[in-house]
Amino acid sequence: MFIIQESWLKRYWPVLLATVTLLSGLACVLPSLPWAATPTPTARPATPTETINLPPHPSYSVQADRNTLGDPAAPVHIDVWEDFQCPACAYYSINVEPQIIQKYVASGQALYTYHFFAFLDGGHPNGESHQAANAALCAAEQGKFWEYHALLVANWNGENQDAFRNARLFDFARFLALNEDDFGVCFRAQRYADQIRADYELGLQWGVQGTPSLFVNGVIVTPGYVPGLEAVTEAVEAALAR
């Protein structure tokens, strides 16, 4: 059973926006931590009835293939690395990503790919960043990656605060009417652990040092800061003109 209320982000977004503004658009910065450096977060038991906040952008009317959106033959490739627990990523996903997708992906000019950079739990395989990524890819098996992504963003409430504990991740799967048995088998087996780790390592190779990090045809846009629509537009238009 789920209660739907006015989005948490809509009610409390001014606080987060003020924080992001105060930090001058800084991205979530990669700390000097080894992979799997932190202990497993202690999960609290889920209450019988919990609120699920509706995302402002639950899905996109664009060709989707798992964690990509758009035409693979598009002349521009936009690659973004994010951690589902990163507050700067939440800001980007609400305020910038939908505009990029509407302007360039829906028009067939760009292919948009979401990559996982799960580092805010120290890279622990049972941490919230990792498990949220794992759950999103399990949802992708049933064609619901972007809808699951949107729910994660809308229900974020801080880093390592149990927003993405296992019970909650299953709540999101039920809300999206996923086959819970299939989702559960995938999730418990950590089926996508290798992909999550590979995305992290690929991000390091590309020069990712924080999230969100966005690249247009392999060139990073505003490194160290949340990529804004103006900066992304300039990069995409330059790539299209080549």
Report the alpha-carbon distance of residue 159 to residue 19 in Å, rounded: 14
Which stretch of DSSP H or E encloses residue 158?
A: none
* Parent domain of 114: 2-35+50-241
Sign of CA dihedral 127, 132, 133, 139: positive
220 domain residue, yes or no: yes
For position 25, what pLDDT does the model report? 62
Report the alpha-carbon distance of residue 227 to residue 208 in Å, rounded: 13
- List the one residue out of 190, 174, 173, 191 whose CA is nearest residue 126: 190
76 domain residue, yes or no: yes
Q: Domain total for the chain? A: 1
Give Rg (Cα) of the chain.
17
130 domain residue, yes or no: yes
The residues near 168 (Cβ < 8 Å, ≥ 6 apart) are: 46, 50, 155, 162
Look at the chain and count its residues.
242
pLDDT tens for the chain, 242 residues: list them.
Answer: 323 333 434 444 444 444 444 343 667 875 433 333 333 333 333 443 478 998 876 567 788 999 999 999 999 999 999 999 999 999 999 999 999 999 999 999 999 999 999 999 887 878 999 999 999 999 999 999 999 999 999 998 888 888 999 999 999 999 999 999 999 999 999 999 999 999 999 999 999 999 999 999 999 999 999 999 999 999 999 999 99
45 domain residue, yes or no: no
41 domain residue, yes or no: no
43 domain residue, yes or no: no
230 domain residue, yes or no: yes
Say what the pTM is.
0.82
**Beta bridge partners of residue 64, listed in sequence order:** 69
42 domain residue, yes or no: no
Q: What is the CATH classification number for the domain harbouring 65?
A: 3.40.30.10
